[in-house]
A = this chain, B = another copy of it.
Amino acid sequence: MFNKTNALSRSRRQRPLARNAKKREQSNKIPTPQSDSKSGLRVIPLGGNEEVGRNMTLFEYGGDIIILDMGLQFPEEDMPGIDYIIPNINYLKGKEKRIRGVILSHGHLDHIGAAPILLRNLGYPPVIGRDMTIAMVKKKMEDFQKGSAQHLKTMRVKSASDKIRLGKFGVEFFEVEHSIMDAVGVIIKTPDGTVIHPGDWTMEKNPASGKLVTYNHLSKLPGPRILMLESLGAIVTNPSRTTEEEMYRNLEKLISEAAGKIIIGTFSSQIRRIGYILEYAEKIGKKVALDGYSMKMNVEIAKELGYIKMHKETFISVSEIQKYPENRIIIVCTGAQGEVNAVLSRIITDNHKHIRIKKNDTVIFSSSVIPGNERTIQRLKDNLYRKCDNVIHSDIMDVHTSGHCSAQDIQEMLRQVRPHFFLPVYANHYMLKEAEKLAVRIGFLKNNIFVLDNGNILEVQKGKAKILPKKVDTSYVMVDGLGVGDIGQVVLRDRQVLSADGMFVITVLLDSKTKEVVGNIQITSRGFIYVKDNFDLVNETKRRVQKAIKETTSRNTSAERKFIEDNIREVVGKFLFQKTERRPMVLPVVIEV
């Protein structure tokens, strides 16, 4: 709720709304509807531990449950070998029949990527979304398991003015701007409160579409209004960030003036931008080859739905590029993050079947750097600059804009929607706290802001909101190959140890009666030292093992195998550390014969 004095003194931009603070405060008094549910409206963000609620959010009311999004998260650096992480749905076990629907805000992987597994595990509840989103989920399901898309039950959202009912929930929609077609904001109505959730969003002052999206109409929704707001941008305070308009002008200039062929590396998720480039290419008579599975798939879907309009002659296959003059070719591809086997990397390392880079080509990185990929991308650029004189990236020219909001946008959204409760979500905790500060700075009362963690339960009832003391299970569910949730902390820790200093296996045969070593002790080592260069160390280790066994068994002739193994592990671990200051994983295998 807006606080009068703060709003007046702190708001940087004196908007008409802020000047009329008295009136606004009255109209923003939190309504206290009579609840018809014992526990009111409950909101539960789920997912990994970092970006709160980004992958999945649960809403409960009067026994009914609806789900917003089913996304995946990419693994952290300390999760070697893990493919991705999906939301933990332990809380929903036994409640499957109460799930009235799964609403999908848009088709990006962090919002739909876990759907193939989670829909299956929840018995295929109905899925609600716009055409592009539904089409992408179907594709993902088929990729995951052939034939599984036939289980999908869908309710199509034909326009943002659609209204649907899911059990005790009324669900409505609103337009938002994001980097993919058919992204949609969601309104969830219950007698105890109305949740307003734009999903991923940005606010373009100068959108390429020419259509300015505003949110003032949401302030008319019945209260208490609970705004759940993606707040990744809370720390993006640079007021001079690139507009979509500027970015497109730069891209058009580069594309039209290029002397050689053009290679544009971007995310396959930037499907609106890719569509724009394709249509511009057609306008100036260039041919476009797409490369990268996800990119081709996304463009295919967008074309089928009529979201990208162009002649089929404009598209060529990468195998056909030799047929055209170099300066009529545009290649749009994946791999701008330096992913080892992605298209751009293969082009740069001369491992691409059809594409060779030349000095006068133009290579454009139309993407941001995902945190953690910085050094890989630096290396990619190094190699690229060796082969090409015209490499363009954001350090040099504005050829990318974020599909996400800025700090100013967050404040603007709050001013327009005028919620009673503010829940910053979809970002790391520290960014959510910064979003809280942004709201307080324009007069929002701190008491009405809730910074949740994944698994927290916010209960809204009779005009009051509170975080319940109990939390829902959000322990990581990691997917590795075919295994879902079977990799735990023990296995991960072992992988970390193995990666740091390798392993050292010692195989010993013992006479089961005399407990004396039979034959040679065998050493098998990987990732520790190069054994062939270290015979002395290996032989000395064998002697120490022999001695350790002798000492153990002479003291205690009935010594158990496990006891002998533990002893070997300790002696060898110490010895190797002393000699090398490395700590390989030591694995003794003692077999009695």
Residues of A within 8 A of B (CB): 50, 76-77, 80-81, 235, 237, 371-372, 374-376, 378-379, 381-382, 384-386, 391, 395-396, 428-430, 433-434, 480-483, 486-488, 490-492, 494-503, 505, 507, 509, 518-519, 522, 524, 526-530, 533-534, 577, 579-582, 585, 587, 589, 591, 593
Contacts and interface: CB of A to CB of B under 8 A. Distances in A.
Contacts of A80: 499-500
The winner among A492, A527, A589, A591 for most chain B CB atoms within 10 A is A527
Contact of A495 (B384, B430, B500): B500
A526 B587 contact: yes
A491 B582 contact: no
A591 B522 contact: yes
A376 B77 contact: yes
B587 A589 contact: no
B382 A428 contact: yes
A481 to B, nearest CB: 3
A522 B591 CA distance: 9
Contacts of A376: 77
Contacts of A490: 530
A424 to B, nearest CB: 12
B374 A495 contact: no
Given A77-B375, A494-B502, 15 more contacts: A81-B501, A235-B395, A371-B375, A386-B429, A482-B581, A486-B529, A491-B526, A495-B500, A495-B527, A496-B499, A499-B499, A507-B507, A507-B589, A509-B591, A519-B591
27 contacts: A80-B499, A235-B395, A237-B395, A372-B374, A381-B430, A480-B580, A480-B582, A481-B581, A482-B580, A486-B530, A491-B526, A491-B527, A494-B527, A495-B501, A498-B499, A498-B503, A498-B526, A498-B527, A503-B526, A505-B505, A505-B524, A509-B509, A509-B593, A518-B593, A522-B589, A524-B587, A593-B593
A237 B393 CA distance: 13
A382 B429 contact: yes
Contact of A483 (B498, B503, B519, B580): B580
A396 to B, nearest CB: 7
Contacts of A502: 81, 491, 494-495, 498
Nearest to A495: B527
A507 B591 contact: yes
Nearest to A481: B581
Contacts of A500: 80-81, 495
10 closest A-B pairs by CB: A499-B499, A481-B581, A371-B374, A498-B498, A494-B527, A495-B527, A235-B395, A81-B500, A80-B499, A381-B430
Contacts of A518: 593
Nearest to A236: B395
A430 B382 contact: yes
A505 B76 contact: no
Contacts of A524: 505, 587, 589
Nearest to A380: B430
Contact of A385 (B371, B430, B494): B430
A222 to B, nearest CB: 33
A519 B374 CA distance: 52
Contacts of A235: 395-396
A381 B430 CA distance: 6
A371 B379 CA distance: 12
A580 B527 CA distance: 23
Given A505-B587, A527-B498, A81 B429 contact: no
A527 to B, nearest CB: 4
